[in-house]
Amino acid sequence: MAETRNEPLAAWLDRHGMSVRELVDAVNDAIRDFTGRPGNTSERTGFRWLSGENRSPQARQRIALERVTGLPVTDLGFVPRGKPKSAPLPPAALPEDPSVHRRRFVGAATGTAAAVAVPLIAASNSRSQRVGTSDVIRLRDKVETLVQLDAERGGHTALERAALAGADEALSLQRRSATQRVRQRLYAVASDFVSTAAWSMIDAGQLHAAGKQLERALTLAGMSQDPDMTMEVWNLRAMLARQEKEFGEAVAAAQAMQATAIARRSPLHASLAHARTAISLAHAGDRRTALRSLGRAEDALGKVHMADPRPPWITFYGPAELYSLTAIVRDVVGDPAEAEAASYRALGALPDTHRRNRAHTTARLSLAQLHQGDVEQACATSADVFEIMAGDPLPGRVRQLLGDFHRDLITLAPPRVAHEWTDRYRTEWSTSA
C-alpha cells in the first residue's frame, strides 16, 4: 500500500495539519453547501484516497475536494472520471477559481480602507450555521495571501487592516456551531492574523502598537493550544524587543522560542529559534555565545528538507534568511568582512519577488562595506535600496537601516562624501516614510 500512497494529497494534509477524518468532514460540509444535503463520504473512503486505492472520487466529491482545497483534483493526485451521468450542477454550484479569491483579497489588502473593511464572512451568510474545517482552510489561505504581499511590499496600513479584519472573522465564527477541534483552529488562525498585523507594524516602525497586538496574539495562541502559533508570537516578540533595544528581553523571547514543543521536534523551527537567539545575544554584547547559537542554527537547518510543507508564517525562513541573519550577527560582533560575504550569499539565494527582504539585506550589505572603510562601494550599494523598492514606500525597518548608514557615514567618511550622499538621497529617503 505504501507504494501507491497518494503523496500529493498526503502533502496537502500535512501542510494544513489535517487528519483524514477532518478532510472527510470538510468534504461532506462542502457537498451540503452546494446540494442542500450533507455528503455521506465515509472515513474509510478518505483513507482509500490517501492510500491510493481510490484515485477517482465521485463527481460531487471531486467538486467538494476542489472547494475545500482550492486545487484541481489532479493536483491532489486524483484521476478524474468521465463526465458525470447525472445532470450537471448549476454554474453557481461550481467551485470558484482560487486565483479569483486570491486576486480579490490582495486587492482588498492593497486598496482603500473601505474595501479592507468589508467583512470577509459576508460570503458565508447563506451557508449553514455550522462551521467546519473548510472555513478554517479558507481563512488560512487569506493569511498566506497576506504573507506573500508582505514579502513583496513590506508592512503597511492596508495589510494591517486586512489582517485584523481576518482575525475578526475567525473570532466571529466562534459564535456558530463547531467542534472543539475546529474552535481551537479558529483561535490559531486568529492568532496568525493578529501576528501578521503585528509584524506589519514592526516592519513599518510602529513598535508600541505592535506590542499590544502581540499580547493579543499570544492569548489567542494559548487558547488554540497550537505550539506553532505560540512560537510565531515569541519570534515577533524577540524582533520587537531588539527594535526597542531591550536586548535582555529579546534574548528571553528567543529562548522561549527554543522551549516551544514545535522547536523541540522540528529542525526548521529550532534553526530559526537559534538564529534569533544569536542576533539577540550579539546585540547584548555576548559575541561568543552568539556565534555558538549561530552554529546551532546552521546545524539544525542542515537537517531540514526544504521541500517539505510548512505553515505560511515561517515560509520566509531558509538558507537565504539564515545568511541574512548571519550578516547581522557578524556585523554587530565586529566581523564586517564576514557580514559582507553572508549578505552576498543571502542576495544570491533570495527570490526576486521578495523585494522587502532584498532591500533590507542590501542595506545591511552597505553597512558591512562601510564598516570595512569601503566608502565609495557602500554608497553605491545603498543607492540600490531605492531602486529595489521603486514604486512603493520604504518599510520602516529599511528606513531605520539607512538612518544607521547615514550616521555611520558621517562618522567614518570625509564630510564631502557624507554631504553628497545626504543631498542626493534626502528627498527620496524622507518621502519614503
CA distance 59 to 67: 13
| pLDDT for position 335 | 97
Q: Classify residue 62: in a domain, yes or no.
A: yes
* Pair (183, 290) in one structural domain: no
* Pair (201, 111) in one structural domain: yes
Q: Coil, helix or strand for 71?
A: coil
Closest CA to 189 of 164, 211, 209, 207: 164
User: CB 112: neighbour CB atoms within 10 A?
Assistant: 10
* Pair (118, 206) in one structural domain: yes
* Pair (251, 273) in one structural domain: yes
| pLDDT for position 116 | 38
- Which of residues 203, 224, 245 is at a domain's end? 224
| pLDDT for position 322 | 97
pLDDT-derived band at 431, boundaries 50, 70, 90:
low
pLDDT score of 113 more than 60:
no
* Pair (166, 129) in one structural domain: yes
Given a contact cutoff of 8 angstroms between Cβ atoms, the answer to whether 235 and 257 are in contact is yes
Q: Classify residue 195: in a domain, yes or no.
A: yes
pLDDT score of 26 more than 70:
yes
CA distance 235 to 212: 15
Share of the chain above pLDDT 70, in %: 86
pLDDT digits (tens, 9 = 90+) for 344-400: 999 999 988 888 899 999 999 999 999 999 999 999 999 999 999 887 888 888 888
pLDDT digits (tens, 9 = 90+) for 224-262: 999 999 999 999 999 999 999 999 999 999 999 999 999
| pLDDT for position 205 | 84
Share of the chain above pLDDT 90, in %: 47
Burial class (CB in 10 A: 0-12, 13-18, 19+), 208: exposed
Can you tell me the mean pLDDT for 185-198?
Answer: 94
**Domains of the chain: total:** 4
pLDDT score of 409 more than 70:
yes
Burial class (CB in 10 A: 0-12, 13-18, 19+), 307: exposed
State the chain's mean pLDDT as an integer: 84
Given a contact cutoff of 8 angstroms between Cβ atoms, the answer to whether 31 and 64 are in contact is yes
What are the CA-CA distances from residue 307 to residues 205, 268, 324, 353 (Å)?
33, 12, 20, 19
| pLDDT for position 430 | 58
- Which of residues 49, 79, 109 is at a domain's end? 79
* Pair (185, 108) in one structural domain: yes
Q: Classify residue 150: in a domain, yes or no.
A: yes
Q: Classify residue 408: in a domain, yes or no.
A: yes
Cell triple for residue 2? 505504501
Residue type, 49: W
* Pair (312, 342) in one structural domain: no
pLDDT score of 106 more than 60:
no
pLDDT score of 181 more than 90:
no
* Pair (337, 427) in one structural domain: yes
pLDDT-derived band at 119, boundaries 50, 70, 90:
very low
* Pair (203, 121) in one structural domain: yes
| pLDDT for position 159 | 87
| pLDDT for position 99 | 42
pLDDT score of 223 more than 50:
yes
- Which of residues 224, 252, 282 is at a domain's end? 224
* Pair (127, 183) in one structural domain: yes
Lowest mean pLDDT among 79-88, 145-154, 371-380: 79-88
pLDDT higher at 193 or 5: 193
Q: Classify residue 106: in a domain, yes or no.
A: yes
Closest CA to 323 of 302, 308, 344, 304: 344
- The domain in which residue 283 lies consists of 226-317
User: CB 230: neighbour CB atoms within 10 A?
Assistant: 25
Cell triple for residue 16? 494544513
Q: Classify residue 325: in a domain, yes or no.
A: no
| pLDDT for position 85 | 42
| pLDDT for position 127 | 47
Q: Coil, helix or strand for 263?
A: helix
Q: Classify residue 347: in a domain, yes or no.
A: yes
Question: Which domain CATH number covers 288?
Answer: 1.25.40
Given a contact cutoff of 8 angstroms between Cβ atoms, the answer to whether 162 and 146 are in contact is yes
CA distance 337 to 349: 19
User: CB 174: neighbour CB atoms within 10 A?
Assistant: 14
| pLDDT for position 82 | 57
User: CB 246: neighbour CB atoms within 10 A?
Assistant: 16
pLDDT-derived band at 81, boundaries 50, 70, 90:
low
* Pair (219, 245) in one structural domain: no
What are the CA-CA distances from residue 197 to residues 150, 203, 304 (Å)?
10, 10, 28
Can you tell me the mean pLDDT for 418-429?
Answer: 78
CA distance 222 to 383: 44
| pLDDT for position 131 | 81
* Pair (233, 213) in one structural domain: no
Q: Classify residue 197: in a domain, yes or no.
A: yes
